[in-house]
């Protein structure tokens, strides 16, 4: 079993260099960068000045990150607002900022059309009429994970020309409260 060497703690200059390398590889939020720097800092007091300097240079900007991230997730993946909001919070964007950016980006978006486009991509090689009740339940969960509201999902599933009892059964199951885990 190989031993993992602990990285050498970094001084203020080393932290700045490390942060610049990290930001050149991937866009990071201020919270993500703070976590990474905290793992490597010899002196935790060096973290805030390093982040302030990067913000001053324009290398760290949570608003710009959130706007770009939201736009790309909407345009490229067609995800719903709830998924994008959850992902931004996971990436440690301030909740108020994340909610504002997502609300602005989705203001002119028709989520019914977005769900239809998502379903169209899912059924490129399969007919929606080939669904079974289990596959329909799986599709419902997929759409929930993609960030769409349950009511709009049900509306879209009803348009697939499936037996009504399947969709009604799914709707009843979705409304049941989750049991204690």
Mean predicted lDDT score pLDDT of the chain: 88
By C-alpha distance, which of 92, 86, 71 is closest to 29?
92
According to the model, what pLDDT value does residue 28 have? Answer: 96
pLDDT band at 86 (very low <50, low <70, confident <90, very high): very high
- What pLDDT digit, counting tens, does each position of 35-54 carry? 999 999 999 999 999 999 99
Which H or E run includes 53? helix 47-57
Task: Return all residues near 169 (Cβ < 8 A) that are at least 6 apart.
Answer: 133
- Per the listing, tokens 């610049």 go with 20
Residue 181 scores a pLDDT above 60: no
Q: Please give the model's pTM, rounded to 2 decimal places.
A: 0.82
Region class of 78: left (phi > 0), else alpha (psi between -120 and 50), else beta:
left
Helix (H, G, I), strand (E, B) or coil at 138: helix
According to the model, what pLDDT value does residue 95 have? Answer: 96
Task: Return all residues near 50 (Cβ < 8 A) that are at least 6 apart.
Answer: 12, 15, 16, 19, 37
Is 11 or 132 the better-scoring residue by pLDDT?
A: 11
By C-alpha distance, which of 54, 81, 52, 53 is closest to 69?
81
Task: Return all residues near 73 (Cβ < 8 A) that are at least 6 apart.
Answer: 79, 83, 84, 87
- What pLDDT digit, counting tens, does each position of 127-177 carry? 666 677 888 888 889 999 999 998 899 888 888 766 676 667 667 666 655
| Rg from Cα positions in the chain | 22
Region class of 147: left (phi > 0), else alpha (psi between -120 and 50), else beta:
left
- What pLDDT digit, counting tens, does each position of 116-129 carry? 999 888 877 666 66
- What pLDDT digit, counting tens, does each position of 70-80 carry? 999 999 999 99
């Amino acid at each position: 079993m190989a031993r993992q060497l602990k990285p050498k703690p970094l001084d203020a200059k080393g932290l700045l260099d490390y942060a610049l390398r990290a930001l050149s590889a991937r866009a990071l939020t201020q919270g993500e960068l703070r976590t990474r720097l905290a793992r490597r800092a010899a002196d935790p007091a060096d973290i805030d000045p390093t982040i302030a300097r990067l913000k001053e240079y324009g290398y760290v900007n949570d608003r710009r990150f959130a706007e770009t991230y939201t736009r790309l997730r909407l345009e490229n993946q067609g995800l719903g607002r709830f998924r994008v909001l959850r992902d931004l919070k996971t990436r440690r964007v301030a909740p108020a900022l994340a909610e504002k950016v997502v609300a602005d980006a989705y203001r002119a978006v028709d989520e019914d059309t977005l769900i239809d486009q998502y379903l169209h991509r899912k059924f490129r090689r399969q007919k929606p009429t080939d669904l079974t009740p289990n596959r329909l339940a799986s599709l419902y969960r997929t759409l929930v994970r993609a960030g769409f509201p349950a009511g709009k999902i049900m509306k879209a599933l009803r348009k697939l020309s499936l037996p009504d009892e399947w969709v009604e059964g799914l709707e009843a199951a979705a409304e049941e409260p989750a049991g204690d885990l």
